[in-house]
Amino acid sequence: MTAQPLSNRRGGSFPAGCLLLFFAVFFLTGLAAFYFATLRPVMSYLAARSWQETTCTVLSSQVGTHPGSDSTTYSVDVVYTYSFGGRAFQSDRYGFLGGSSSGRTGKEEIVARYPPGTRVPCWIDPAHPEQAVLSREPSAEWLIGLVPLVFMLVGAAGILWSLRMSRRVRATASALPLAPAEPFGLLAPPAAAGGSLELKPEATPWGKLLGLTFLALFWNGIISVFVWQASVGWRAGRPDGCLTLFLVPFVLVGLGLIYAVIRQLLILFNPRLHLTLSPGTLAAGQTGYLQWSLGSRGGGVKRLTIILEGREEAQYRRGTSTYTDKSVFATLTLVDTRQELEIPSGSTSFAVPPDGMPSFTAPHNKIRWAVKAHCDIPGWPDSEDEYEVLVRPGGGA
Partner 1 sequence: MGWIQVETRDGVTAFVPGETVEGTVSWQLEKPARTIELRLFWYTQGKGDQDVGVVTAVPFPEPALQDRRSFRVTLPLGPYSFSGQLISLIWALEVVAEPGARTGRIEIVVSPWRREVVLQPHSPAG
* Distance in angstroms (rounded) separating the CA atoms of residues 265 and 208: 9
Question: Binder to partner 1 among 283, 308, 343, 389 (CB under 8 A)?
Answer: 308
Question: Binder to partner 1 among 9, 104, 235, 297 (CB under 8 A)?
Answer: 9
Closer CB to partner 1, 239 or 353, in the complex: 353
For position 11 contacting partner 1 by CB under 8 A, the verdict is yes
* Distance in angstroms (rounded) separating the CA atoms of residues 76 and 94: 7
| Region from 86-94, 203-211, 258-266, 321-329 binding partner 1, contact rule CB under 8 A | 321-329
CB of 6 to partner 1, least distance (A): 6
Name residues whose C-beta falls within 8 Å of residue 333's C-beta, 6 or more positions apart in sequence. 305, 306, 307
Total number of residues binding partner 1 (CB under 8 A)?
Answer: 54
* Distance in angstroms (rounded) separating the CA atoms of residues 224 and 153: 17
For position 393 contacting partner 1 by CB under 8 A, the verdict is yes
CB of 182 to partner 1, least distance (A): 9
Q: Is the dihedral of CA 234, 236, 239, 245 positive or negative?
A: negative
> Please, which residues bridge with residue 346 across strands?
292
Question: Binder to partner 1 among 112, 206, 316, 349 (CB under 8 A)?
Answer: 316
User: Which contacts (CB < 8 Å, 24+ apart) does range 103-107 have?
Assistant: 103/74, 104/63, 104/74, 107/63, 107/74, 107/75, 107/76
For position 65 contacting partner 1 by CB under 8 A, the verdict is no
Q: Is the dihedral of CA 77, 82, 84, 89 positive or negative?
A: positive
CB of 233 to partner 1, least distance (A): 45
| Bond into 116 cis (ω within 30) | no
CB of 383 to partner 1, least distance (A): 24
Q: Which one, of 96, 21, 26, 82, lies nearest residue 54 by Cα?
A: 82
Q: Which one, of 201, 316, 326, lies nearest residue 267 by Cα?
A: 201
Residues 89-123: b if buried by 16+ CB within 10 A, e if exposed: bebebbbbbeebeeeeeebeebbeebeeeeebebb
| Region from 7-15, 108-116, 122-130, 263-271 binding partner 1, contact rule CB under 8 A | 7-15
CB of 306 to partner 1, least distance (A): 13
Closer CB to partner 1, 153 or 188, in the complex: 188
Closer CB to partner 1, 18 or 28, in the complex: 18
Closer CB to partner 1, 149 or 352, in the complex: 352
For position 310 contacting partner 1 by CB under 8 A, the verdict is yes
Site for partner 1 in 345-384 (CB under 8 A): 350-353, 355-358, 360, 362-365, 367
* Distance in angstroms (rounded) separating the CA atoms of residues 373 and 336: 10
| Region from 41-49, 109-117, 265-273, 309-317 binding partner 1, contact rule CB under 8 A | 309-317
Closer CB to partner 1, 161 or 329, in the complex: 329
* Distance in angstroms (rounded) separating the CA atoms of residues 131 and 57: 15
| Region from 131-139, 173-181, 206-214, 265-273 binding partner 1, contact rule CB under 8 A | 173-181
Query: Binding string, 180-209, against partner 1, x = CB under 8 A?
Result: x--xxx------------------------
For position 177 contacting partner 1 by CB under 8 A, the verdict is yes
Q: Which one, of 63, 67, 88, 66, lies nearest residue 77 by Cα?
A: 63
How far is the CA of 334 from the CAs of 38, 198, 237, 351, 354, in angstroms?
Answer: 54, 16, 63, 10, 17
Classify 323 as helix, strand or coil: strand
Query: Binding string, 275-304, against partner 1, x = CB under 8 A?
Result: ------------------------------
Name residues whose C-beta falls within 8 Å of residue 116's C-beta, 6 or more positions apart in sequence. 58, 59, 60, 61
Closer CB to partner 1, 221 or 393, in the complex: 393
Question: Which residues contact partner 1 by CB under 8 A?
Answer: 1-11, 13, 176-178, 180, 183-185, 308, 310, 312-317, 325-333, 350-353, 355-358, 360, 362-365, 367, 393-394, 396-397
